[in-house]
Structure 1
Amino acid sequence: MILPSPHADSDNWTLTTTPVRSPRGAVAAQHRLAARAGAAQLEAGGNAVDAIVATAYALNAVEPWMCGLGGSGFMVIWLAREQRAVALDFQGTLPAAIRLDDYPIDPARPHTPMGFPGVVDDANIAGYRSITVPGAVAGLDHALARFGSRPRAEVMAPAIALAERGLQVDWFTTLQIALCAPTLARDPTSAAIYLPGGHPATPESHLRIPQLADTLREIAAGGAETFYRGELAKQIVADLQAGGSRLTREDLAGYAVHEYAPMLASHRGYTLYTPGETSGGLRQREMLSHAGAAMPVPPARPTPATWVAYAEALEACWRQHKIRTGVLPPSAGEDVNGGNANGESIDGEHGACTSSMSAVDADGNMVALTYTLLNRFGSGVTLPTTGMLMNDSVSYFDPRPGYPTTMAGGKRINSSNMCPTVAVKDGEARFSVGASGGNLIMPAVTQVAALMMDFGMSLEEAVQHPRLDASHRGSIRVDPRFDAATLAALESRFPLEIAQSLVFPKLYACVSGVARDPESGECVGLHDPTQPIGGGATPAPFQLDPLTDTAPEVRP
């Protein structure tokens, strides 16, 4: 059965993207300028960790709606000389004083992107009560101090320069703002920045985020210490509490990054490293195990049976995930066409956000980083004293009592779709891949990785290959670029939704990655073709283009 889709014939673009190549390393990110900020660290003699941290900080100024200082996430690092992988969990934590009474369930509200019930006034997804302790600064500072090689001030210099320049508004930026205009309008500071005159900022205008450059400078000077226990912490908490948050100085001061051995999965001679059970890594391992059993010896190229095996594997691992998190009851049947516990389809990824980036250096060190504000523009709150856009990660938690992810004081986010992955074979990091897109992340990342491992595809071939999406929500979504035989095989097994790969909504996630050939040393960086501002970069000094600095400035 083919289900009607509003995205079946809504566009007619043929989307491709060109990889960057260099023997000295490469960076891929959801914004080209951020990738260049990272690649500049390689040019200056830094390593892949320096590059990824510079990239992540730069995104605060060029893609603030997806991630930033007010967010949280995961990182996986392959240390070539030590022949080992490290995972960093810098996920957010709930205020110690959080109360379920602050989040009464409203049956009229839609489910959150994580599949949990909506609450009155959207208090778990918008505004000050939706904010958790952000782990991003702690995670980036930890990575740089432990595994980087360059001074923090130099690594953060491009981000500061970009914040000083301000945000150049193009059509894609206007789209992002317009999608979240009602949430941004709830917060006076955010509205003043992104909705000048009460309307989304228009293309060819210029937005400056007040205090952001100064905040980045203070972090460059004082690191995580000032953010969590120093002067910045004082300013952050004052703003939060003035807006109604229950976060305290003690909540910030007690925050800690978790460094640990990552989860691994073995597939076709590769070892894949992910952050583990609280990320999409467990589902990835389950999917690959299921697909490997269904396809012990892959054919030369993917066949219709390949895609049926991938879809069945994704459905199976997502069903188990939804049982583990309480979205489905333990007694849920085996029907792959299920939804949530109420029989509804959970498909909140259209509003989800995240940013994923990867880096590799000439020595073979490789890093995958994914971090997020959760929803696009997070809570919609910009802290007036620091210019930080804050997360809405309270929506990672269930507002109902008695579930594995129920809200509780100090609780750390323990269920995420993020799935940064580093793949190693014969002691060499071969590729790193991650994605943004909520529920879409793990299926997309795992398909790209599987195509490379099962069929020897290059990163470019795998990222640009048609994908499907399956997450035990009631149907399988399929790109119409698949051949007729594949579509027929999938339709014989699942209700099918034919939907194009679009700039918006991103129905198959937004993938970025790097790869390295250990024989030639060539490094490749590539970003998803549906992200018009994304791209890769190779080592070069970081320079702003003076031609883009002449637009009229819009001040709040």
Structure 2
Amino acid sequence: MKFSPHWPALSLSLLLVGGAAFAADGSTKNVPASAAHGQIQLRPGHAAIASANFHATNAGLEVLAKGGNAFDAAIAVASTLSVVEPESSGMGGGFMAVLHRAKDGHDFFIDAREAAPAAVDSKDYLNADGTPNRDASLKGPLSSGIPGEPAGLVLLSKRYGRLPLSASLAPAIRIARDGFQPDARLREAIADERKNLQRWPASAAKYLTDGKPPADGATWRDPDQAHTWELIATHGDDGFYRGETADKLIAAVHAAGGRWTLADLAAYKAKERTPIIVNYHGFRIITAPPPSSGGVAIAEILNILSGFDLTKLDEPHRVHFIIEAMRRAFRDHNDYLGDPDFVKMPLDMLLSPFYADGLRQSILPDKATPSSMLPAAEAAEPGMHTTHFSIIDADGNMVAITSTVNYVLGSTFVASGTGVLLNDEMDDFALVPNEPNVYGLLGSVANAPKGGKRMLSSMSPSIVIGADRTAVIGSPGGSTIITQVLEGILAFVDGESAQQIAAHKRFHHQYMPDEVDVEEGTFDPATSDALTKMGYNLKPRESWGFMNVVTWNRKTNKLDAASDPRRPSGLGKVQ
């Protein structure tokens, strides 16, 4: 990796470029009845992408300009983020995707979540006294699950893309080879993790120069990652999970004490699953199924809230009912959910409106319910550093992808000769039942580690379709992903724009600890006082996710794209 101080400065702005609308293509499946009578546009005729980095957004638009669809553009965005935003996602991590194909109304979900190696041993993650060893679960190859992103992108290209995989990966390969200017967020992440990066020679070589992070204005090149993407472009899955890259990954992991095998890599498959669909006050929400916990929790919360008209409540009571719904959903999240290929989950119960009715009845009208007072769920025996992007293309195909390496710069371990920064997703397992992970989430035996099993995730990519408005939405943020996406959905239902949704002030409750995290400015003093009197412990929180939203008004045929204003490196762009 080489740096140069002479890279030209690039300005960042929200760029809106209008496009002509085309006639509807006649497809009416899964579209509100009014659309079939010509009142609603079925095809926008132009495209919009919102991602966390302008290089990635522009890569997606480049692929669309070559004739690609939203699914090809998603491959370009994800692979470019691997190069320019490694603190949040990358080829050494995984993703979850909620997608909509316009020509037949097909809604589908791709599970490219990481998986535990066959030789996983919970004892590796324990201190001598039986407490969690956070260094083992967060740093180095023991913390890493088998990556899913390469397989997920290959699957997306094969089944749904329009262009060759090599065309969709071309921007990422070019940027990795030619170089780019690291933004302040990446430089700060490298500075924060410098001591951990120095523990492994390949990590230090990739991210540090003379032991220091890249300077402002330097050029960063990553030829090893470019080569690995080229192998994937040429050979598909075999370019990563077998052959040259696989051999290098296993050699590096074993040399540093990890437990991966060539068989683990060869056995990994991205999976297509049925998304969760819930209706809320006339809107159809398509969201992520397990091994995401987010979709189940969002659906459960919305089912509870469907019994209230939130628009007729004063602000303290509106927030009160939302928090209580969050509390109950996270209680179930902790105890019931896991990898559906390993754990039998009572999803019919959790997603039932009748179950939600019972939970709603347990909410007191003017008083917080202490989490300790809720009955324990009886489970069957068995990043803030993530990224999200949203896409709608000219045909109306939609992509909501949340991708992650878990914590800042994942495990901080780079496999020599590959450019692959490994994730630290093993911490998302319940390595010690009922002990919190790095995000404070509890877990049960349903999310205990086992070879080949996928760890539970909070990733909640979602698509929201109303009578005449559509949104593609998601966010990073660890355990707050679920509540941030929920609040984004509620804001969209209330009529807010993409920019308003991305900027919306946020609050969060996750059952335990029994406190409400609140962003500064979310509540006025009167609301804060009223909530405190109801029994809520309000706790200021500075760190929130990086939401990226695309909306489509199908009456006016207007697309809008917005990146979270809390961070300046993102770009929402309409083409």
Alignment partner, residue 29 of structure 1:
51
Alignment partner, residue 471 of structure 1:
510
Alignment partner, residue 449 of structure 1:
489
Q: Which residue, out of 439, 442, 447, partners 2:479?
A: 439
Contact 2:532 2:538 in 1 (8 A): no
- 1:354-381, Cα deviation, whole Å (9 max, x unpaired): 1111100111111100111111111111
Alignment partner, residue 61 of structure 2:
39
Q: Which amino acid aligns with 1:286?
A: E
Q: Which residue, out of 273, 297, 300, partners 1:283?
A: 297
Change (3 A) 1:48 1:494: farther
Matches within 5 A, 1:119-130: 119=133, 122-130=135-143
Q: Which residue, out of 519, 530, 536, partners 2:566?
A: 530
Matches within 5 A, 1:235-254: 235-254=248-267
When normalised by structure 1's length, the TM-score is: 0.82
State the SS of the aligned residue for 1:537. strand
State the SS of the aligned residue for 2:415. coil
- 1:164-189, Cα deviation, whole Å (9 max, x unpaired): 13342343222111222232222211
Deviation of 1:302 (Å) = 7.4
Deviation of 1:79 (Å) = 0.9
Q: Distance in 2 between matches of 1:337 and 1:47?
A: 48
Change (3 A) 1:150 1:176: same
Contact 1:19 1:524 in 2 (8 A): no
Q: Which amino acid aligns with 1:529?
A: P
Contact 1:166 1:207 in 2 (8 A): yes
Contact 1:28 1:513 in 2 (8 A): yes
Matches within 5 A, 1:207-286: 207-279=220-292, 280-286=294-300
Does residue 142 in structure 1 map to residue 164 in structure 2? no
Contact 1:20 1:526 in 2 (8 A): no
Contact 2:327 2:371 in 1 (8 A): no
Contact 1:105 1:399 in 2 (8 A): no
Alignment partner, residue 407 of structure 1:
449
Change (3 A) 1:17 1:164: closer
Does residue 373 in structure 1 map to residue 373 in structure 2? no
Alignment partner, residue 132 of structure 1:
145
Alignment partner, residue 350 of structure 2:
none
Does residue 430 in structure 1 map to residue 443 in structure 2? no
Q: Distance in 2 between matches of 1:400 and 1:353?
A: 22
Q: Distance in 2 between matches of 1:84 and 1:302?
A: 39
Alignment partner, residue 348 of structure 2:
none
Q: Distance in 2 between matches of 1:205 and 1:339?
A: 52
Matches within 5 A, 1:386-401: 386-400=418-432
Q: Distance in 1 between matches of 2:198 and 2:373?
A: 31
Q: Which residue, out of 84, 101, 112, partners 2:123?
A: 101
Does residue 161 in structure 1 map to residue 183 in structure 2? no
Contact 1:480 1:498 in 2 (8 A): no
- 1:401-422, Cα deviation, whole Å (9 max, x unpaired): 7822222222222x11100001
State the SS of the aligned residue for 1:486. helix
Q: Which residue, out of 159, 164, 177, partners 2:190?
A: 177
Change (3 A) 1:468 1:244: same
Q: Distance in 2 between matches of 1:83 and 1:53?
A: 21
- 1:246-291, Cα deviation, whole Å (9 max, x unpaired): 1111111111111122111111111111121321100101111122
Contact 2:117 2:452 in 1 (8 A): yes
Contact 1:358 1:514 in 2 (8 A): yes
Deviation of 1:93 (Å) = 1.1
Contact 1:28 1:536 in 2 (8 A): yes
- 1:489-512, Cα deviation, whole Å (9 max, x unpaired): 322234343536xxxx52x32211
Q: Distance in 2 between matches of 1:51 and 1:313?
A: 36
Contact 1:364 1:429 in 2 (8 A): no
Deviation of 1:55 (Å) = 0.2
Using the aligned pairs only, state the percent identity: 30
Change (3 A) 1:45 1:315: same
Alignment partner, residue 214 of structure 2:
201
Q: Distance in 1 between matches of 2:299 and 2:243?
A: 41
Q: Distance in 1 between matches of 2:143 and 2:269?
A: 20
State the SS of the aligned residue for 1:404. helix
Q: Which amino acid aligns with 2:302?
A: L
Alignment partner, residue 58 of structure 1:
80
Does residue 305 in structure 1 map to residue 317 in structure 2? yes
Change (3 A) 1:494 1:203: farther
Alignment partner, residue 85 of structure 1:
107
Alignment partner, residue 7 of structure 1:
none
Change (3 A) 1:340 1:390: farther
Q: Which residue, out of 65, 82, 96, partners 1:74?
A: 96
Change (3 A) 1:162 1:302: farther
Matches within 5 A, 1:484-499: 484-497=525-538, 499=540
Alignment partner, residue 554 of structure 1:
none
Q: Which residue, out of 444, 451, 457, partners 1:416?
A: 457
Change (3 A) 1:106 1:309: farther
Deviation of 1:21 (Å) = 5.7
Change (3 A) 1:283 1:103: same
State the SS of the aligned residue for 2:247. helix
Deviation of 1:318 (Å) = 1.4
State the SS of the aligned residue for 1:399. coil
Q: Which amino acid aligns with 2:268?
A: Y
State the SS of the aligned residue for 1:298. helix
Change (3 A) 1:320 1:233: same
Contact 2:248 2:416 in 1 (8 A): no
State the SS of the aligned residue for 2:475. strand
Q: Which residue, out of 471, 476, 483, partners 2:524?
A: 483
Q: Distance in 1 between matches of 2:13 and 2:445?
A: 43
Does residue 521 in structure 1 map to residue 572 in structure 2? no
Alignment partner, residue 314 of structure 1:
326
Contact 1:47 1:361 in 2 (8 A): yes
Contact 1:21 1:525 in 2 (8 A): no
Moved more, 390-399 or 203-212: 203-212
Q: Distance in 1 between matches of 2:526 and 2:14?
A: 29
Does residue 358 in structure 1 map to residue 399 in structure 2? no
State the SS of the aligned residue for 2:389. strand
Contact 1:39 1:51 in 2 (8 A): yes
Q: Distance in 1 between matches of 2:115 and 2:157?
A: 22
Alignment partner, residue 461 of structure 1:
500
Q: Which amino acid aligns with 2:295?
A: G
State the SS of the aligned residue for 2:210. helix
State the SS of the aligned residue for 1:477. strand
Q: Which amino acid aligns with 2:407?
A: N
Q: Which amino acid aligns with 2:265?
A: L
Deviation of 1:146 (Å) = 0.7
Q: Which amino acid aligns with 1:523?
A: L
Contact 1:19 1:526 in 2 (8 A): no
When normalised by structure 2's length, the TM-score is: 0.80
Return 5+ residue gaps in structure 2 as ranges.
1-11, 20-45, 339-361, 375-382, 434-443
Change (3 A) 1:106 1:148: farther
What is the count of residue pairs matched by the alignment?
490
Return 5+ residue gaps in structure 1 as ranges.
1-15, 109-116, 327-332, 342-350, 540-556
Q: Distance in 2 between matches of 1:340 and 1:257?
A: 40
